[in-house]
Amino acid sequence: MKSKSKINIQKYSLILILIAMMVVCSFLSSNFFTAKNLTNILKQVSIVTICAFAQGMIIICGEIDLSIGYLAGMAGSYACIVYVATENLVIAFLVGILLGALVGAINGLFVAYFKLPSFIVTLAMQTVCFGAICLYTGGQNIYKIGNFKIFGQGEVFGIIPVTVTFMLIMLVITHIILKYTKFGRYLYAIGGNSEAANAAGIQVCKIKWTAFIVSGIFAAIAGMVMMGRLNAGIPSEGTGYETDAITATVIGGTSFSGGAGTAFGTLLGSLIIGVLNNIMNLMGIDSYLQMIIKGAIIIFAVLIDVLSKTQKIKVKIMAPAEGGQK
Amino acid sequence: MSEIKLELKNISKSFPGVKALDGVNIALRKGTVHAVMGENGAGKSTLMKIINGLYQRDEGQVILDGKEVHFSGPMESQAAGIAMIYQELNFFPELSIAENIFMKRQPTKGGHVDWKKMMEMAKKILDENDLPYDPKTKIKELPIASIQMLEIVKAVAFKAQVIIMDEPTSSISNKEVDMLFEKIRKLREQGISFLYISHKMEEIFQIADDITIIRDGKSIISGPVKDFTEDSIITHMVGRSIDNIYPKEEVPIGDVVFEAKNLCSKDMFKNVCLNVRKGEIVGMAGLVGAGRSEVCRAIFGLDPLDSGEITLAGKPYKPKDVTHAIKNKILMITEDRKKEGIIGVRSCRENITLTSHHIEKGGFINLKKEVQDAQRMSEMLKVRFAGIETPIGSLSGGNQQKVLLCRWLMLESNLLILDEPTRGIDVGAKLEIYNIITDLAKKGYAILMISSEMPELLGMCDRIYVMSQGYVTGCLNRNEFEQERIMQLATGHVK
Amino acid sequence: MKAKKVFSVLMAAAMMAGVMTGGTATTVSAADTYKVAFLPTDMSATFASWLASELQTAFDQYDDMELTVIDSKNELETQISSLETCVSQGYDYIILLPLEPAAEDDLVEGYINDGTPIMNINLDDLAVEKASSVIANPYDLGTVVAEEAKKNLPEDAKVVVLLGPSGNTDSIERRRAYEDVLFSQNENITILDEQIGDWEKSKGMEYMENWLQVYDDVDAVISMNDAMAIGAYEAAKDAGVADDIQFYGVDGLADAAVAINDGEMNATALQDAQVMAEEGARIAHEVLTGENKDGYEKVQIPVTLITKDNVSEFIDRYTENGMLK
């Protein structure tokens, strides 16, 4: 029973941290706990959260995807271009998704089949993505994207902002993938111990490849929502989302060494950062101080991650020892 | 009789649950080669680690040059003139010969390494020992035998009086063995003493002066090599009655389900033929490195197979990868549970259902069915844990093994391969695993079991194949089981 | 192992091929024309790529000069080595859009003394006497918009300020102009908050969303570039208060022109790449043909204020040169 209750505490600890933060914030600023402000926070975190869902799946299977931000900028901007040319939202959306899948497939090909380190491959893919969009736009942004903005502005049913709706849809999809599909199981297994996964008949290469494709599609969706929200196609705006996504997933309890993490955890991690950013702005805290506070929080989160893991390892070492020597 | 250089008196050592050494006595005479022999797991390696200070003895004395010594670690034993050369050589492949020789002992000048002097010294050592290498050569560029020679040379260069060698010839060619022996003989004449651990019978008679045989952590007999014959050595190594803990039951044995012919894999095994019948437990005996695991891994698609034919349930089967093997109902519990078995951070439930397809539909898992199946299976095999959500990494070895068995029992099987199924598992849990294996045979499973514990094979199997150096050297039926015979086949004495 | 090696060799070969084809495509020139190189900061940045295309157009007017553009990809290291390469390749003239003027002036001075004339375009002047320069001062850009804001804003205006990346010269100079022209001149003006938005539209949007929760009436958004101002506008529009707020940016490129035309932004200031390019080409030509006896000339380009009154002119221009599609 012991281990079970421990996991639950870990799971709830994030919610508790978030609630505690929100209570404190309510005291710090009377403008914090209002429907409008809370909606704003959701709106502000939604794009990076979609990226974080993608990043989370990749980290769970033991890799990393640094191309997410640039890919979002590239796929989102191309979708804008297609929309401007065709005036057809569906075609634009599909082109965006296709581009995401394509870049993901290339990442996955090199990582899974050629066994290159994902850090390097996806880092290189950053510049490829940026070049691929600038090649067409010549460094200019895409203005007057017309109705494309419905991907990121306005509300669904008059209350839920579109960006938040996208985030919720991606949350549900990620949750289902991770919890209810074989593919999700395999991601955990590969991240937990890829040799054992292989010896259990899991096609490690194929699953990793698929994971990168899924990540690419998620990034592309994030990119299109981003351009919709910005009401313009700005390739450079995706820059840095990959690292924000990593931060959110790690705070959300995704283990950097793979094999553990959930969609809800990622959402919570993202919300914690979002609330933090929001309250610092509401209070008018100095920009430079904000940077320090944010950095400190990230280190703190990783520290928790490492501490909880070393405790787990202790348990593991004890187990075989009781079986005697080899 | 020359003076005693190193004496071990009544050494004992326990690990939680296991008594690894129980009163071992060895007297190593100055300027001799003393062979230490025993089965896998007899306690040889533990003994060596106690001598060089890696482990601390519970009881007994280590006496060097007439004085009792206590080493808290290898650095201290080295300083006292004892050098250990491990089976898996430890060196830094990316560093040069000179750097490896002088690791931690670099000549310094004003606080930093004196590279020039180090190179000169290394060159001198290499020249004196007829090793034709530039001291700047990276270690990884040398053949294994030269590295081994280097280890010896290095030990001597740093005034080692006692050199312990653990299976030094396991990965080098015959010609290189001759060179190694020549070197050992030369050093022996200079008064250096060797403790020499080996399985290989012919080597012992070539090089050793004295022999000590260890079995079950006890030293059984010691004496000059001329007092022994191969047969007497084997008898002493295995000489014990089979404990009657094995729940072997006679099961009606059916048709051949698995038949392999002339399996070959470069450097690993050659022309291996074997078959397994329904309801039959077939053992594979042999020493470490005989190629048993490699054969099984090749069948399971984990390692390469160069040629050979396999017939599975009447149809030809060609190993491709593990997925393909599982599809053809060939299942395998691998030797290294931690590395290639469990997904430590995930729950027992997920570990059990990892490969079962009947709980999913179109890629989606039926969670309710999954929980039920995992529950039922773990109850059947009596896995002891807090619940199916417990991370498997936190279980004991025996329970981990049971969970892995659960995983495969969720699937249908034509052939179940168990590679060292009871390694690292305490006695009680071993018995439970044996019961499970017996049950499976009763249900008609065809089982191929590798084990380095001879009694386990003798107790559980219907037939035993014996392998030596990549070849199947014999196949014994239950009525022909005899430890000495197996040992002879395993040491490659009988072709 | 072997496959790995083969792979990396192939990669290297592919890269070499890419470099060679890419590098030689634009440099084929007749013997009697002057070879001029333009080293912009980053061709993926809007202004730099605009300036590059305007320079190309301006150089097309001269039969005896040929322009090659070599991107520095926003890396100082790349720019410096490109500079070295251009000199050793025997370019007759080099136009530099410097990434870090202070880090490059010694180098530039050395090359000029060795006989390669160099022009500094866009930013602050280099501390090199003999370098030609065509500059639009970032302080001036801030000044013209600040004056326009001063004219339009109420006496007791409450404003929020968006800054560029920390330490960025443009942002610092523009902000200094605002201080001198507007903030220090009027004690009644309140700066509600001031944050670093890293030039990004999304950051401008996010800050504005949060500000609107705290401050009931914001009279103006003072942004050091247009993207952040437009982002803030999007947020205000979403909150339904855009009409009550004035938006000021700097840069004056296509996005801002559209925003001003649509009544979203109030004013911006432009460093006119076309004028800069024309001046740059003229000076280069005069220096190369010996018409300019000093071997250098320094001009300061007047900055242009863009408001509702003159925006249509820029819309036309940007549509014509393809920046607005």
Tens of pLDDT along A40-99? 899 999 999 999 999 999 999 999 999 999 999 999 999 999 999 999 999 999 999 999
Cross-chain CB nearest to A287 (options C42, C196, C209) = C196
C238 in A contact zone (CB under 8 Å): yes
Range among A192-201, C10-19, C130-139 rated most confident: A192-201
Instruction: Identify which of A9, A108, A119, A63 has the alpha carbon closest to the alpha carbon of residue A256.
Output: A63
Q: Under DSSP, is residue B6 helix (H, G, I), strand (E, B) or coil?
A: strand
The one-digit pLDDT tens for each residue of chain B (495 residues) are 568 899 999 999 887 666 788 889 999 999 999 999 877 667 787 888 888 888 888 889 999 988 898 888 888 888 888 988 876 667 787 888 888 888 777 788 877 888 888 888 888 888 887 788 888 888 888 877 788 788 888 888 888 899 998 878 766 777 778 888 888 898 899 899 999 987 777 788 888 999 998 888 888 889 998 888 877 887 787 765 445 568 888 888 999 999 999 999 988 899 999 999 999 999 999 887 788 999 999 999 999 999 999 999 999 999 999 999 999 999 999 988 888 999 999 999 999 999 888 888 888 999 999 999 999 999 999 888 888 998 998 888 889 999 999 999 999 899 999 999 988 776 667 888 999 999 999 999 999 999 988 888 998 999 999 999 899 999 999 989 888 889 888 887 544
A318 has pLDDT over 50: no
Listed by start position, the domains of chain C span 34-135+272-300, 138-270
Q: Under DSSP, is residue A279 helix (H, G, I), strand (E, B) or coil?
A: helix
Share of chain C above pLDDT 90, in %: 51
Instruction: Identify which of A166, A152, A175 has the alpha carbon closest to the alpha carbon of residue A266.
Output: A175
Q: Which residues of A touch C (CB under 8 A)?
A: 29, 31-32, 34, 36-37, 40, 43-44, 47, 84, 114, 130-131, 134, 138-144, 153, 226, 229-232, 234-237, 277-278, 281-282, 284, 287-288
Whether the predicted model's global pTM rises above the 0.90 cut? no
Contacts of B328 (CB under 8 A, 6+ apart): B312, B317, B414
pLDDT digits (tens, 9 = 90+) for C168-211: 888 999 999 999 999 998 889 999 999 999 899 999 999 999 99
Q: What is the pLDDT of residue A3?
A: 42
Extract the tokens encoding B220: 């059984």
Please tell me which residue, A169 or C130, carries the higher pLDDT value. Answer: A169
3-state secondary structure chain C: CHHHHHHHHHHHHHHHHHHHHHHHCCCCCCCCCEEEEEECCCCCCHHHHHHHHHHHHHHHCCCCEEEEECCCCCCHHHHHHHHHHHHHCCCCEEEECCCCHHHHHHHHHHHHHCCCCEEEEECCCCCCCCCEEEECCHHHHHHHHHHHHHHHCCCCCEEEEEECCCCCHHHHHHHHHHHHHHHCCCCCCEEEEEEECCCCHHHHHHHHHHHHHHCCCCCEEEECCHHHHHHHHHHHHHHCCHHHCEEECCECCHHHHHHHHCCCCCEEEECCHHHHHHHHHHHHHHHHHCCCCCCCCEEECCCEEEECCCHHHHHHHHHHCCCCC
| B405, closest residue in chain A (CA to CA) | A200
Cα distances from A125 to residues A67, A70, A78, in angstroms, run 6, 8, 16
Confidence of residue A322 (pLDDT cuts 50, 70, 90): very low
CATH number assigned to the domain covering C138-270: 3.40.50.2300
CA distance B68 to A262: 59
CB B434 within 8 A of CB B246: yes
Is this prediction's ipTM beyond 0.90? no
CB pairs under 8 A between A and C: 92
H or E, element range at A118: helix A118-137
Find the largest Cα–Cα distance for chain C: 75
Torsion angle (degrees, nearest 10) of CA B461, B464, B466, B471: -120
Q: Is C138-270 the same fold as C34-135+272-300?
A: yes
Confidence of residue C25 (pLDDT cuts 50, 70, 90): very low
Q: DSSP labels for A65-76?
A: -TTHHHHHHHHH
- Contacts of residue A8 in chain B, CB cutoff 8 Å? none
Min Cα distance B315 → chain A (Å) is 21
User: Picking from A26-35, A110-119, C95-104, which range would have the lowest pLDDT averaged per residue?
Assistant: C95-104
A230 with C201: Cβ contact below 8 A: yes
Q: What is the pLDDT of residue A187?
A: 96
To test the contact with chain C by mutation, choose from A74, A230, A290, A291 the residue with the greatest count of C C-beta atoms within 10 A, namely A230
A10 has pLDDT over 60: no
Q: What is the pLDDT of residue A311?
A: 54
CA distance B230 to B232: 5
| B394, closest residue in chain A (CA to CA) | A316
Please tell me which residue, B427 or A120, carries the higher pLDDT value. Answer: A120
pLDDT digits (tens, 9 = 90+) for A222-276: 999 999 998 889 888 888 899 889 989 988 888 888 999 999 999 999 999 999 9
| A182, closest residue in chain B (CA to CA) | B363
Min Cα distance A112 → chain C (Å) is 14
CB B448 within 8 A of CB B391: no
| C163, closest residue in chain A (CA to CA) | A287
Cross-chain CB nearest to C201 (options A29, A114, A237) = A237
Determine the straight-line distance between the first and last CA of chain A, rounded to whole angstroms.
29
pLDDT digits (tens, 9 = 90+) for C231-262: 999 999 989 999 999 999 999 988 899 999 99
Superfamily of domain covering C34-135+272-300: Response regulator (3.40.50.2300)
Q: What is the pLDDT of residue A73?
A: 94
CA distance A258 to A61: 6
B344 with A192: Cβ contact below 8 A: yes
- Contacts of residue B401 in chain A, CB cutoff 8 Å? none
Q: What is the pLDDT of residue A77?
A: 95
Cross-chain CB nearest to A1 (options B41, B367, B386) = B386
C323 with A140: Cβ contact below 8 A: yes
